[in-house]
């Protein structure tokens, strides 16, 4: 996928949210603000994007996003339950209908016992969370960009689940 495809996914997500009067917030680790940047690049994004938290450090994941400290100490930051907790924390703490999250290893070195390219993304709503594991290859920038595209796609699917509509 290209940057144009990222922009298209972000535009679709913002359009769906705006049409429903709903909002999204982002919790990012390995993407370092790229999800928020993609969403806010869409004209009119302020109607649907509440804000984002870049929580690179595990202690911030706990204190700012409410990820249980025990979960972080037991599994590290690169874990599906951490992604789900980050998304839920973004949703509730930033007052949004949906929360999305990214956590993983973009490289160049392994982290938390996980190889480069191991990524977890999540999308949360009041109805629950959806988490996906990604196993990505390529450069650090390619892993981060693919993660942004994947989490935007997951958000679009989650919006469809909540509304009972098919969104693709």
Question: Taking the domains of the chain in order of start, what are their residue ranges?
Answer: 3-162
pLDDT category at 2 given cuts 50, 70, 90 is: confident
Enter the pTM of the model: 0.95
What's the whole-number mean pLDDT along residues 71-85?
97
What's the whole-number mean pLDDT along residues 64-92?
97
Tens digits of residue pLDDT in 11-36: 999 999 999 999 999 999 999 999 99
pLDDT of amino acid 106: 96
pLDDT category at 112 given cuts 50, 70, 90 is: confident
Query: Residue 47: beta bridge partners?
Result: none
pLDDT at 137 over 70: yes
pLDDT at 118 over 70: yes
pLDDT of amino acid 163: 62
Of the CA atoms within 13 Å of residue 25, those in its CB half-sphere come to 20
- CA quadruple 131, 102, 88, 160: dihedral sign: negative
What's the whole-number mean pLDDT along residues 153-167?
82
pLDDT of amino acid 48: 98
pLDDT of amino acid 41: 97
Helix locations, the chain, DSSP H: 3-20, 34-40, 58-63, 69-75, 80-93, 140-163
pLDDT of amino acid 165: 60
Burial 8-27 (b: 16+ CB within 10 A, else e): ebbbbbbebbbeeebbbbbb
Rg (CA), the chain: 15
Considering the chain, what percentage of its residues have pLDDT values greater than 70?
96
Place of tokens 């979960």: 71
pLDDT of amino acid 56: 94
Mean pLDDT of the chain: 95
Considering the chain, what percentage of its residues have pLDDT values greater than 90?
92
pLDDT category at 164 given cuts 50, 70, 90 is: low
Closest CA to 103 of 71, 81, 88: 81
Look at the domain 3-162 and name its fold. Maf protein (3.90.950)
């Amino acid at each position: 996928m290209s940057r144009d495809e990222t922009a298209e996914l972000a535009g679709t997500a913002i359009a769906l949210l705006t049409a429903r009067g709903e909002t999204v917030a982002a919790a990012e680790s390995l993407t370092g603000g790229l999800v928020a940047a993609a969403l806010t690049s869409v004209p009119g994004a302020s109607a649907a994007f509440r804000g984002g938290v870049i929580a690179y450090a595990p202690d911030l994941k706990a204190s700012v996003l409410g990820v249980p400290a025990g979960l972080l100490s037991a599994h590290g930051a690169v874990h599906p339950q951490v992604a789900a907790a980050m998304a839920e924390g973004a949703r509730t703490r930033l007052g949004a209908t949906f929360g999305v999250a990214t956590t993983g290893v973009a490289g160049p070195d392994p982290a938390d016992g996980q190889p480069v390219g191991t990524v977890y993304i999540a999308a949360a709503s009041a109805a629950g969370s959806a988490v996906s594991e990604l196993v990505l290859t390529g450069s650090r920038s390619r892993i981060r960009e693919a993660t942004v595209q994947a989490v935007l796609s997951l958000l679009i699917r989650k919006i469809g689940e909540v509304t009972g509509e098919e969104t693709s």
